[in-house]
Amino acid sequence: MANSKNPGKSSASTVEILHPFHHEVFSASRAGHLDSRLRRFIYRPDRLAERYVKPGDCVLDFGCGPGFFTREFAKKAGDTGSVIAVDLQEEMLRLLREKLEPEGLMPRIRTHQCAQDSIGLSPEWDRKIDVAFAIFVVHEVPDPKKLFREISSLLRTEGLLFYSEPPFIVSGKEFQDNLALAQEAGFRVIESRLFFVNRAAVLRKE
Ligand SMILES: C[S@@+](CC[C@H](N)C(=O)[O-])C[C@H]1O[C@@H](n2cnc3c(N)ncnc32)[C@H](O)[C@@H]1O
CA of 126 from ligand 1 middle (Å) equals: 22
pLDDT greater than 90 at residue 112: yes
Express each pLDDT in 55-90 by its tens digit.
Answer: 999 999 999 999 999 999 999 999 999 999 999 999
pLDDT at 22: 73
CA of 7 from ligand 1 middle (Å) equals: 12
CA of 173 from ligand 1 middle (Å) equals: 21
Q: Which residue puts its alpha carbon closest to atom 27 of ligand 1?
A: 65
Which strand ranges, in their side-by-side order, compose the sheet holding 58-62? Answer: 109-113, 82-87, 58-62, 129-135, 155-165, 198-205, 187-195
Q: Name the residue of 23, 37, 84, 140 whose CB sits within 8 Å of the most ligand 1 atoms, as the mutation to test its pocket.
A: 140
Pick the more confident residue, 16 or 56.
56
Domain spans in the chain, listed from the N-terminal domain onward: 44-205
Contact 165, 26 (CB under 8 A): no
Q: What is the pTM of this model?
A: 0.92
Express each pLDDT in 95-111 by its tens digit.
Answer: 999 999 999 999 999 99
Measured CA to CA, the distance from residue 150 to residue 189 in angstroms comes to 17
Residue type at position 171: S
Average pLDDT over residues 134-155: 98
Express each pLDDT in 18-42 by its tens digit.
Answer: 455 678 999 999 999 999 999 999 9
Lining residues, ligand 1, CB within 6 Å: 25-26, 34, 63-65, 68-69, 86-89, 92, 114, 116, 135-137, 140-141
Burial of 203: CB neighbours in 10 Å, binned 0-12, 13-18, 19+: buried
Average pLDDT, the chain: 92
State the closest ligand 1 atom to the C-alpha of 133, by its place in the atom list counted from 1.
Answer: 6
44-205 is classed in which CATH architecture? 3-Layer(aba) Sandwich (3.40)
